[in-house]
């Protein structure tokens, strides 16, 4: 049995993780973490997830909880994740990170810590989305420089970053297949007299509306034809199930930084 801690347990994903873990026989939720100033510290995490009391109270102190888990699943914010990484590295714990928006400095620090701890980090833990990453890589390699590539994504009105981490990763999959640096060719939205489109560029467009869980489309548009690869998420359950799958996988690793492509054997 893999003892699993969940950081950000009071959030939408945190609650979904607690609920999904109840149906995962190889895992048990043994620690639940929230910000120290949260009014929910002390609450039963099972009751928060609407599955009934599970006897695991919400803690506001990750360091004090490290003895209770082997793998920490973290869907919080960049600053909290950076702190949690340091604590878990010092305690010899493993992590699954779904937080997006890490700065370049924070990501570099994660790579350093990965020399002594095992981490899975991914912009999206959906198995379907990770299959989409692979399909985009294959399609880009087939089309080469003969198409224009655009990435469109839609999320709920509460999402605070744009483009989504998943959209960026889709762009990276296409750029890598074409030997381009995404930072050199990415175009984020267009306005005004932009001039003729440069075929080397990869465009990104973000919509924020309603309660959309997540939708991503990569368009490969050539002369006389267009291919669109789309993934639509209907609930957060698939993200939670993927993260739990990653936790099971990382539990057998000693060190290194991995992503869902590694977990799913897509490399």
Which segments of the chain belong to CATH 3.30.360.10? 127-233
Which segments of the chain belong to CATH 3.40.50.720? 2-121+236-263
CB hemisphere CA count around 18 (13 angstroms): 28
93 is catalytic: no
Domain 2-121+236-263 has CATH 3.50.80.10: no
Q: Is 9 annotated as a binding residue?
A: yes
The per-residue pLDDT for range 161-184, each reduced to its tens digit, is 899 989 999 999 999 999 999 999
Catalytic residue among 93, 94, 155, 231: 155
Catalytic residue among 93, 116, 134, 159: 159
Radius of gyration of the chain (CA): 19
Q: Is 10 annotated as a binding residue?
A: yes
Q: Report pLDDT for 177.
A: 98
Q: Is 123 annotated as a binding residue?
A: yes
The per-residue pLDDT for range 239-255, each reduced to its tens digit, is 999 999 999 999 999 99
Q: Report pLDDT for 39.
A: 96
d(CA 248, CA 244): 6
Please name which of 34, 32, 61 lies closest in space to residue 44, comparing C-alpha atoms: 32
Helices (H), the chain: 12-21, 45-48, 62-65, 78-91, 104-113, 127-143, 165-177, 182-185, 237-250, 260-263
Q: Check whether 231 has a pLDDT greater than 90.
A: yes
Domain 127-233 has CATH 3.30.360.10: yes
205 is catalytic: no
Summarize the confidence of residues 117-130 as an average pLDDT: 94
Return the HEC string of 13-75. Answer: HHHHHHHHHCCCCCEEEEEEECCCCCCCCCCEHHHHCCCCCCCCEEECCHHHHHHHCCEEEEC
Q: Is 256 annotated as a binding residue?
A: no
The per-residue pLDDT for range 28-81, each reduced to its tens digit, is 999 999 999 999 999 999 999 999 999 999 999 999 999 999 999 999 999 999
Q: Report pLDDT for 239.
A: 92
């Amino acid at each position: 049995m893999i003892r699993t801690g969940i950081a950000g347990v009071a959030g939408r994903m945190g609650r979904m993780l607690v609920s999904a873990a109840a149906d995962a026989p190889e895992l048990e939720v043994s620690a639940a973490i929230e910000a120290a100033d949260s009014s929910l510290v002390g609450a039963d995490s099972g009751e928060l997830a609407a599955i009934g009391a599970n006897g695991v109270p919400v803690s506001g102190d990750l360091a004090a909880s490290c003895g209770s888990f082997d793998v920490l699943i973290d869907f919080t914010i960049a600053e909290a994740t950076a702190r949690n990484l340091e604590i878990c590295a010092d305690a010899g714990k493993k992590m699954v990170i779904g937080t997006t928006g890490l700065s370049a400095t924070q990501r570099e620090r994660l790579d350093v810590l990965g020399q002594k701890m095992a981490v899975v980090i991914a912009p999206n833990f959906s198995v379907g989305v990770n299959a989409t990453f692979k399909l985009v890589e294959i399609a880009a390699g087939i089309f080469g420089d003969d198409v224009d590539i655009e990435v469109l994504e839609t999320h709920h009105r509460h999402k605070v970053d744009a483009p989504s981490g998943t959209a960026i990763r889709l762009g990276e999959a296409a750029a890598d297949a074409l030997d381009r640096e995404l930072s050199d060719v990415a175009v984020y939205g267009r306005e005004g007299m932009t001039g003729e489109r440069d075929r080397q560029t990869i465009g990104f467009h973000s919509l924020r509306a309603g309660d959309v869980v997540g939708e991503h489309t990569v368009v490969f548009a050539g002369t006389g034809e267009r291919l669109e690869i789309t993934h639509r998420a209907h609930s957060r359950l698939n993200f939670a199930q993927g993260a739990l799958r990653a936790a099971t996988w990382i539990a057998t690793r000693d060190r290194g930084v991995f992503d869902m492509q590694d977990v799913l054997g897509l490399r």
